[in-house]
Amino acid sequence: MTQPALGLLSSTIVMVLALGFISLFDFGTFAGWVAFVMLGLIPMQVVAVVLWGANPGFASGLNQPARGVVLVLVTVVATAVLSPIVFMTVGEGVSPPGPIPSHFAVIVVPTTFWLTIMMGGWPFTKMTSNALVSGLLALIASYVITYIVFLVFFNYGFLQGAPVFLPSAPMGMFNAVSALVFYVTALAVMFLVLCFDLWPLTAVPGIMKQPMLGLVWTVIALVGAAVAMWIGVDSGGADPMDFLTEVTAPFIFGSIIVLNMLQNSLFGRMTQPLKGVMNTIAAAGIGLVLAHLYVSLLPMVTGTLPSGPPGYEQQIWLANALLSVTFPFLIYHAVFFGYWPLTRMKN
């Protein structure tokens, strides 16, 4: 089986499994502990895929599915170490995890993507030639940097008096929900650049070296997120949570399908920038269709949930269903397991 049929079949199977997994939990459990734990898997998963090539030395001699199992266990171990630290510090040990520690768990993911993909693991790849060590350093740095960002930019004053408010909650520069949506939207812009295979940056050799590439890419991501938020939220009047679930999250999810699951194969014969335009249209379209499909299946999977303020239950469910559960499941199958058993490659 070849692409794109392989990616489409894999994506379909994984989405069915993901929705089946979500159906095991009521909304409170899913939005609390389940989403918190699942988000905790992703930073280690990103490090293993990007900096270790999903083929670290301790697993390189294994055939599938053993290699995939080992890599999944590595993410589980990392989560078992790091998520309790987040829960006890940011979340003050209050069970189940509320929006404050959950927001932190969300934004660790864009930070990890930034360090591994946009910065290429720099400076940790320069500090040591050992990929395992540099990867673990990048993972730890992702949490440290995220904590600084969290303290400086996130403000939870609007939650004061609510049962989910925590005394240690940061009182930073911006409304925490808006800051969260901006941060995740910057990740969506990163995927937009990937849709273009980094064109036109590739036309300037001096930019394609770290840390210059990472710095330029960071500016693009931040400016792009600011423009998107200004158009959609500030000028368009969209609720930030609606913008997250109707624009940002679907585009990220669609990009995962187009770039990872289909291995950038849909428009492989095209050259840039036309290929990037078509990838972008495909990612946006596929993401929106799948987001609406998930919402249509919500009553069957979890039960009917109200949309909009004050609880935003439907928006929270959709964002987590797409990006906290289905996204890591997709990467597990496509990268960790190499699409096994749909393919039977040994390496």
Q: Is the pLDDT of residue 346 over 90?
A: no
167: Cα separation from own chain's centroid: 28
Q: Is the pLDDT of residue 330 over 50?
A: yes
Give dist(CA 187, CA 180) in Å, integer.
Answer: 11
Q: What is the DSSP string of 185-254?
A: HHHHHHHHHHHTTTTTGGG-TTTSSTTHHHHHHHHHHHHHHHHHHIIIIIIT---HHHHIIIIIHHHHHH
Give dist(CA 230, CA 208) in Å, integer.
Answer: 29
The answer to whether residues 305 and 27 touch, using CB atoms and an 8 Å cutoff, is yes
Average pLDDT over residues 55-74: 96
Per-residue pLDDT at 347: 39
Express as a percent the part of the chain with pLDDT over 70: 99
Per-residue pLDDT at 193: 98
Count other C-beta atoms under 10 Å from residue 68's C-beta.
21
Omega cis (within 30) before 123 = yes
Average pLDDT over residues 174-185: 98
What ranges do the domains of the chain cover?
5-336
Q: Could you read off the pLDDT of 213-230 as tens digits, one per residue?
A: 999 999 999 999 999 999
Least confident segment among 123-127, 299-303, 321-325, 342-346: 342-346
Q: Is the pLDDT of residue 345 over 80?
A: no
**Among 172, 143, 38, which residue's Cα sits nearest to residue 85?**
143
Q: Which amino acid is located at 65 in the chain?
A: P
Confidence of residue 54 (pLDDT cuts 50, 70, 90): very high
The 8-class DSSP code of residue 157 comes to G
Per-residue pLDDT at 1: 80
Average pLDDT over residues 84-88: 98
Average pLDDT over residues 147-172: 97
The 8-class DSSP code of residue 158 comes to G
Give dist(CA 215, CA 228) in Å, integer.
Answer: 20
- In terms of C-beta density within 10 A (0-12 exposed, 13-18 middle, 19 or more buried), how is residue 28 classed? exposed
Q: Which amino acid is located at 137 in the chain?
A: L
Q: Is the pLDDT of residue 139 over 70?
A: yes
Residue that is written with structure tokens 């949570």 in the block = 241
Give dist(CA 44, CA 58) in Å, integer.
Answer: 16
